[in-house]
Amino acid sequence: RDVEKPRDSFVMIRGQYDQRGERVEPSVPAVLPPLRRADASARLTRLDLAQWLMAPENPLTARVTVNRFWQQVFGTGLVKTGADFGSQGDVPSHPELLDWLAVTYRDSGWDTRVLLRLMLHSATFRQGARVTPEALQRDPENRLLARAPRFRLDAEQIRDNVLFTSGLLRREMGGRGTKGYQPANIWEPVG
């Protein structure tokens, strides 16, 4: 919970803790939609900020989240600069798709499973990664998603794939860890 009487905050002149400048109130940058107070006579709270982040008139939260999931699935986000949605970042390669996915995600109650299922069942995800010379000339960076992307798997994904392929992957949660087969004396040359 917030404290009963919040302390005052100030702009520190040249960043020095002992040189207070003007007094400031909690808010968001002016280029974004303004925060609404739950209590008009009180100061803005963290709950006001949370409600502002999830409000339908603030599409940024859903767009950034959808872009991050798209980046995990396809290797590159619809906005290539996933950490920068501002004026210095790239424009979306498919802005209508990004907006539609963001609205769908928000309207589903922020259900990540529904969003990922939608992406993974799409024709874009299911296509092959074979590169034709025409497609390479037309879209060398694959921003139009004419083919499946190629990107490296993380170590955990490689291990899970090896365990699944070998039949050693246990799907139930918890329990003892699995130790895969290792030939005798495999570590002697290293040690």
Q: Return the amino acid letter for 92.
A: P
Contact 116, 73 (CB under 8 A): yes
pLDDT of res. 2: 67
Of the two residues 35 and 23, the one the predictor is more confident about is 23
pLDDT of res. 186: 82
pLDDT at 88 over 90: no
Within 10 A of 111 (CB to CB), how many other CB atoms are there? 13
Dihedral sign for Cα 39, 45, 49, 50, please. negative
Exposure string of 17-36, with b = 16+ CB inside 10 Å and e = fewer, is eeeeeeeeeeeeeeeeeebe
Question: What average pLDDT does the segment 50-58 reach?
Answer: 86
* Torsion angles phi and psi, residue 163, rounded to 5: -65, -40
Among 5-14, 97-106, 140-149, 156-165, which stretch is predicted with the lowest mean pLDDT? 140-149
pLDDT in tens, 109-130: 999 999 999 999 999 899 888 8
pLDDT of res. 34: 82
Of the two residues 121 and 8, the one the predictor is more confident about is 121
pLDDT in tens, 137-187: 988 888 888 888 877 888 988 988 998 999 988 888 887 776 777 888 888
Q: Give the confidence band of 27 by pLDDT, cuts at 50, 70, 90.
A: confident
Share of the chain above pLDDT 70, in %: 98
Among 40-54, 55-69, 91-105, which stretch is predicted with the lowest mean pLDDT? 40-54
- SS3 of 22-84: the string is EEECCCCCCCCCCCCCCCCCCCCCHHHHHHHHCCCCCCHHHHHHHHHHHHHHHCCCCCCCCCC
Residue in 116, 27, 99 with CA at minimum distance from that of residue 59: 99
Based on its alpha-carbon atoms, the radius of gyration of the chain, rounded to whole angstroms, reads: 24
